[in-house]
Structure 1
Amino acid sequence: MRTEASPQWLVVLAFIAIYIIWGTTYMAIAFGLQGFPPFVLTAFRGIIAGTLLISWCLLRGEKLPSLAVIGNSSVSGILMLVGGTGLVTWAEQYVNSGYAAIIMATEPFFFVLLDKKQWGNYFSNRWVLTGLLVGFAGMLLFFHYTSGSTQQTNDGAMLLIGNLVLLLGAILWVVGSLYAKNKIDHSHSNTLTTGLQLLAAGLFSGLTAAFTGEWSGFSIAAVPVAAWGGLLYLITMGSLVAYMAFTWLITIRPPALVSTHTYVNPVVAVFVGWIFANEQITWLQIMALLIILAGVLLTNVPNYKLAKA
């Protein structure tokens, strides 16, 4: 973590970006899906945002890194932004944006479970163990209340599949994050590394869309204005503003503090979905959400104590 002073107003704006903007991108995905198949949408988002960032870096005189750095950035980008964000986009065909945000709030649990180097610290700490148990109890309750919210068997089956795909997306986002932490050479700018991740993810999404047949049934002329608006928002606010804010904040503030966006994003997503898309959520599902967030909070107590030390 870098220690040089940063303008406080810029830090505040960056936190607003990861708190509010990331919470609204779930609704933007829903709008985008009105005209784009899921991996086509992810392809456009990644290719355009990645190309813009890399072009900006080259215009400023930065040099492209080695093939090893490009390769590691690409792998992490594909895991996080195709396996993570791409699967969220696919799942939102069957799961509304508020549900998607709630499931993705489980990411901190998978950081604990998959960060093998820290197991000795995690599993010897009562806060972490309690948080894991509370969080998974909340997940089970949410699945139960969600599966019982529809009367149609087919819809219920796809709802369950969508939630399971979201869990896989959360896991792959964590795997990609850990890979990036351990493998990427951080001597290059965050902007360039992020651009490489986005471009690789966009190209891989395009190949995935070809494999699944999405391109064959896609007509760019038939895309409605709302879907173009969703894509534009995802590129500018989701990828260029919020994702860049996250990659910057993680270098100047304690990770435990930056990770607090996982508490706020689901609340924002549920509220935005209710206001703009009339998405319904029951009080029992809200209770499950609060239990999940309580578990996330408990697992991070040791990090908060360390950050204050």
Structure 2
Amino acid sequence: MQTPGKAPSSLLVVLAFATVYIVWGSTYFFIQRALAGMPPFFLGSFRFMVAGMIMMTWSLLQKEKLFDWAAMKPAIITGLLLLFVGNGVVIWVEQFLPSAMVAIMVSSAPIWFVVLDKPKWSENLNNKTSIFGLLIGFAGVILLFSEKIMISMSSLNSSRDLFALGLVVLGSMSWAGGSLYSKYNAVSPSATVNSTWQMLTAGIAFMPGVIFSGELSSLDLGKIPADVWLATAYLVTFGSIAGLSAYVWLLKVQPATKVSTYAYVNPVVAVMLGIFFAKESISRIQIIGLMIILGSVLLINLHKYRKPKTLTPVV
């Protein structure tokens, strides 16, 4: 996306953030649509294998340095933490957990970014506006989904669903940890190469689940509805290829706390899509939640807009 050593283009940064904010905000809906006709492990394996193969083909056409173990190793580890554990947990629990509950648990990721980013502890923990922004952003997400949470709490199965919620928290931690590992350990300067190996690794990692869960024996590709295939195609092209590539690149050129704001904006996008395309209603409480979330993102980025103090020269 850029020449190594050069500052990233402001336009590219804006486009990458827009991709991660908007595209990933829509994937909750498309994952649930795809799960209506595909079992979870097969969906994860198929989605990431196809996306990875497309990215590999593109990398080869661009003559990227693809088969380099030094670059492959950190990408493989990142793929396991990010896509297999982090994303895999979301795919699995969305079979039976309300999407609102999943969205809130996933939105704890920005907090884990701060907790796990040891090299930046001094900088992040001393940045009061960013910390305050992260906390009120999470509060805004809870407020945004508060009504749905109250409704869904009565339908939760105490043992199974509490276990699933715990898994989502662990998945969020894994996602944050994998993101930070990629930021500090990625060898290849190419976001395309890194994304290729991350997705192929996740696609392969899902395969044992496909086999041992018995999904293959009950799977009939010919009976999968067209809308399920379309939802899966969206997840492959936009959610994986476009979204993940933009995210991996942003991690290299932007502070992790700023990149992590996707977890607050994604639910906002999901709600807005529901209003415009599914004709869902929005309550006053949700509007307040939306405003709080957007305000938190501004707080986290506030230092960017502050003018540097000028020192008066001593005569």
- TM-score, with structure 2 as normaliser: 0.79
Aligned-residue offset at 1:113? 0.9
After superposition, where does 1:70-89 map in structure 2 within 5 Å? Answer: 70-89=72-91
Structure 2 counterpart of 1:28, one-letter code: F
Give the equivalent residue in structure 1 for 2:225: 224
CA 1:249–1:68: 2 relative to 1, 3 Å? closer
Listed as ranges, the gaps of 5+ residues in structure 1 are none
After superposition, where does 1:197-208 map in structure 2 within 5 Å? Answer: 197-208=198-209
Structure 1 counterpart of 2:220, one-letter code: S
Structure 1 stretches of 4+ with a deviation exceeding 6 A read 139-144, 278-282, 305-309
Q: Does 1:119 align with 2:117?
A: no
Question: Is this contact kept in 1: 2:107–2:138, CA < 8 A?
Answer: no
Question: Is this contact kept in 1: 2:180–2:256, CA < 8 A?
Answer: no
Listed as ranges, the gaps of 5+ residues in structure 2 are 310-315
The Cα RMSD (Å) is: 3.6
Q: Does 1:240 align with 2:241?
A: yes
Q: Which shows bigger deviation, 124-133 or 14-23? A: 124-133
Q: Does 1:57 align with 2:59?
A: yes
CA 1:37–1:99: 2 relative to 1, 3 Å? same
CA 1:203–1:50: 2 relative to 1, 3 Å? same
Q: Deviations over 1:8-28 (max 9, x none)?
A: 4x5554443222212111111
CA–CA distance in 1 between the matches of 2:128 and 2:165?
A: 29
Q: Does 1:210 align with 2:201?
A: no
Q: Does 1:32 align with 2:46?
A: no
Corresponding residue pairs, total: 306
Aligned-residue offset at 1:54? 1.1
Larger C-alpha radius of gyration, 1 or 2? Answer: 2
Is the partner of 1:93 in helix, strand or coil?
coil
- TM-score, with structure 1 as normaliser: 0.81
Structure 2 counterpart of 1:50, one-letter code: G
The match for 2:151 among 141, 145, 149 is 149
CA 1:295–1:159: 2 relative to 1, 3 Å? farther
CA 1:198–1:151: 2 relative to 1, 3 Å? closer
CA 1:202–1:36: 2 relative to 1, 3 Å? same
User: Identity over the aligned pairs, expressed in percent?
Assistant: 38
Question: Is this contact kept in 2: 1:109–1:135, CA < 8 A?
Answer: no
Structure 2 counterpart of 1:3, one-letter code: K
After superposition, where does 1:1-309 map in structure 2 within 5 Å? Answer: 2-4=5-7, 6=9, 8=11, 12-131=14-133, 133-134=135-136, 147-150=149-152, 152-155=154-157, 160-187=162-189, 189-251=190-252, 258-273=259-274, 298=299, 301=302, 304=304
Is the partner of 2:38 in helix, strand or coil?
coil
Question: Is this contact kept in 1: 2:31–2:235, CA < 8 A?
Answer: yes
CA 1:62–1:147: 2 relative to 1, 3 Å? closer
Aligned-residue offset at 1:168? 2.2
